[in-house]
Structure 1
Amino acid sequence: MQTQLRNGILIAFGELFLKSEGVRKLFQRRLINNLCFFLEKEKIEFKIHSFRERIFVETNQALKAKKIIKRIFGIAWFSDSFYFFDLKELIRFIDKNYKKYIKKGESFAIRMKKDRKVIDRIAKLIDRKVNLDRPKRELFVEQRDKKHFLYFKKVKGAGGLPVSSSGKVLSLISGGIDSPVAAFLIAKRGAENVWLHFHSFPLVSNASIEKTKELAQVFKKYQPNLKIYFVPFQKAQLEIKAKVPAKYRILLYRRLMFKIAEKIAEKEGCDALVTGESLGQVSSQTLPNIKITEEA
């Protein structure tokens, strides 16, 4: 006989609501794929239940799973939740257990759409004061495909769109903060990242290479897989330095980097380059110089 009560985490989508039915289904599958990748990577035992507007992750390792779910793009909010196969089981559970969640003297409110009769039925079981405007505790009840969910607190998710749902980009990662932040933000909009880092080792130390690798370890907590190109640039730098006046060198470096980046982007099937440029931050990032660079 099937167990009537299941524990886990209920997940609500963010902007997926705004998409057409076909696109929403595609994005939802991508979100589920990303969820499965990260949960499996951490060796969490789980089962996915998919609904039109929700995902339920059935697991007995909720504390560990929530740390992962919190950083997955495409999730508006999530909550510890109980999953019931019928309404009677839900009502019996509330009757027996509400004192664990609503202490004596605390007010409460039941949040449930449409079914006023069910709300009244549950409220009569709870020997606590009702306060719909400013309750101390809230009970959220949802019905999905004749199944019922009960949860008590929503936790804000990472938002955005599922990674790999909005195409692929090549991000140029430098030694500063702007480029990895740009890569993060474009990933939050659903783009899959490939990284490209130009370095001058052994002309200088390999510090920028190591820093990029460290950043990649953090970034891979948000994107399932990350491919990185490390391109040696010291020979080109030395040649430009020998032939070009100092005031033009940085622009020439950047133009050449863009040409190389375009070739790699074409090879990888990327739809755009992400540079992380910040207007006016350095001399090469004025509008005229950015224009010259992008004409490469």
Structure 2
Amino acid sequence: MRKVFIVMCGELTLKGENKGFFEETLKRNILQRIGGDVQIEHKHQRFYIACSPDRESRVREALGSTFGIVKYAPALELPKEMEAIKGAALLLAREAVETTGTTVFKIEAKRTDKSFPLTSYDIAKELGALLLEHDPRLSVRMTRPDWSIKVEIRDKAYLFWEEVPGPGGLPVGSSGTGMLLLSGGIDSPVAGYLMAKRGLSLHAAYFHTYPYTSDDARKKVETLAAILSRWTGRVVLHVVPFTEAQIHINRHARKNEITLHMRAAMVRIATILAGRVGASCLITGESLGQVASQTAESMRFTQHTTDLPIFRPLVGMDKQEIIALARRIGTFETSILPYADCCTLFSPEHPLIRPHFEPMREAYKTLEIDPHLREAADKAEHLVFELGQQREKA
């Protein structure tokens, strides 16, 4: 008998001929998080992970934050012999009572190997009677028990009672690479998280306007990138010196158009960087109607400087929904630190809310800002974050 972690993969099991690609990507991501000294096997559309006892907490932490995992179960793997199965059931029942403090249970048995002499019903009946005999505190309830011991008869017997939710989604890297426009606010880290959950590897562009924004503002964004990398495995942060471009816009644009031209310029720089790293899309934290630059008309204008699709996963969410998710993924407390970014510092008092597309596009052309944007992209600093830590400069 040995301890294993059974990993359930959710929608990966619905994939067709390319299912193997998704499974291999997930396996690679799991191993990156756990490190060495584990055995990982794929069978029955699941992963089975065996490790030494001192690695169990590391495995739990990894499986709870790896996209592509719907849930996992710490299980006992043993021979398909009824006496061994009974012994394992007694161990798990004791553990469940001690952990939960509850005593109402159910046995769920599934016999995939039809050569096993007992039916699923017989297995559940025999194990239930055994537990009731050994512990008079226990009672059975078939609907909504406090806990259930699940028995699976496959190539071997597997028993477990605890099932831990994973983050779901698709394995990071299975959907390509995206360039996230990352500010120090609440929204953009959540947008990055949601698109990583759909399988995108993340690069992120941060627009730094020193000395108008402080080094504390930059460190805040670096911290956000590090937190995101706990979920994505890796984030490459491109710190773009945006001061000269910002000054140029302020000097030459109409005051009420500054924010929109600034956003369009950022999209252009992000597109240049995306081309250099092989990213096929941009990601923003825009939510429809939240601020002046996030009306439908404003979004139409600010995206005209790219030929890449812009994914806006928060577009239909309200602020409270976004905040709740930011709290859950661990970015909220950092996002609310009081260090202003360039979008806040240079916002006009009365920004244009519903720009007319053609006149705005012509106004943007008259800025003749593209040389400044290419220079900013060329001077970007590239930082690598892996699993919550800064590793190196790219």
TM-score with structure 2 length normalisation?
Answer: 0.68
Deviations 1:170-224 (A, max 9, x none): 1010121111110000011111111111110134312331111101111111112
Check conservation: 1:279, 1:286, Cα contact below 8 A.
Answer: yes
1:58-69 → structure 2 map (5 Å cutoff)? 58-59=50-51, 60=53, 61-69=55-63
* Bigger mean CA offset, 172-181 vs 243-252: 243-252
Residue 52 of structure 1: how far off its partner (Å) = 3.0
- 1:45 and 1:138 map into 2 onto residues whose CA distance is 31
Q: Quick one: structure 1 residues 176 and 102, their matched pair in 2 at CA, closer, same or farther if it must change by over 3 Å?
A: closer
Give me the whole-angstrom Cα distance separating, in 1, the residues matched to 2:63 and 2:96.
26
Say whether the 8 Å CA contact 1:78–1:157 is kept in structure 2: yes
Is 2:11 aligned against 1:15?
Answer: yes
Count, aligned residues: 287
Give the stretch that moved more between structures: 120-129 or 53-62: 120-129
CA distance in structure 2 between the partners assigned to 1:192 and 1:276 by the alignment? 16
User: How big is the shift at 1:85?
Assistant: 3.7
Query: Is residue 85–residue 157 contact of structure 2 (8 Å, CA) maintained in 1?
Result: no
Other structure's SS at 1:276 match: coil
Gaps of 5+ in 1: none
Flag the 1:248–1:190 CA change in 2: closer, same or farther, 3 A. Answer: same
C-alpha spacing 1:281/1:268, structure 2 compared with 1 (3 Å): same
Alignment equivalent of 1:134, drawn from 126, 133, 144: 144
Match of residue 237, structure 2, among 219, 228, 231: 228
Counterpart of 2:110 in structure 1 is: 113
* Alignment pair present for 1:93 and 2:87: yes
CA distance in 1, matches of 2:57, 2:174: 27
CA shift, 1:28, in A, is: 1.4
- The separation in 1 between residues aligned to 2:67 and 2:218, in whole angstroms, is 27
Matched residue, 1:24: 19
Match for 2:41: what amino acid?
H
One-letter amino acid of the counterpart of residue 230, structure 1:
V
Matching residue within 279, 287, 295 for 1:278: 287
Deviation at 1:46, TM superposition (A): 2.1
Q: Determine whether 1:36 maps to 2:46.
A: no
**2:41 is paired with a residue of what secondary structure?**
strand
CA distance in 1, matches of 2:274, 2:206: 13
Change (3 A) 1:86 1:290: same
Task: State the SS of the aligned residue for 1:185.
Answer: helix
Using the alignment, how far apart are the partners of 2:238 and 2:245 within structure 1? 17
Structure 1, residues 136-166: CA drift from partner, whole Å, max 9, x if none? Answer: 431111234x122110121111111111111
Identify the residue that residue 125 of structure 1 maps to in structure 2: 130
Q: How far did residue 273 of structure 1 move?
A: 0.4
Map 1:37-52; keep pairs closer than 5 Å: 37-40=32-35, 45-52=37-44
Contact 2:226 2:235 in 1 (8 A): no
Contact 2:206 2:239 in 1 (8 A): yes
CA RMSD of aligned residues (A): 2.2
Q: Secondary structure of 1:217's partner?
A: helix
Aligned-partner SS, 2:47: strand
TM value normalised by structure 1: 0.89
* Contact 1:90–1:148, Cα closer than 8 Å, also in 2: no
Cα distance change, pair 103–163 in 1 and its aligned pair in 2 (3 A): closer
Deviation at residue 89 of structure 1 after TM alignment: 6.1
The amino acid of 1:150's aligned partner reads L
Match of 1:289 in 2: 298
Counterparts in 2 of 1:97 and 1:290: CA distance versus 1, 3 Å = closer
Deviation at 1:229, TM superposition (A): 0.8
Deviates more, 1:244-253 or 1:202-211: 202-211
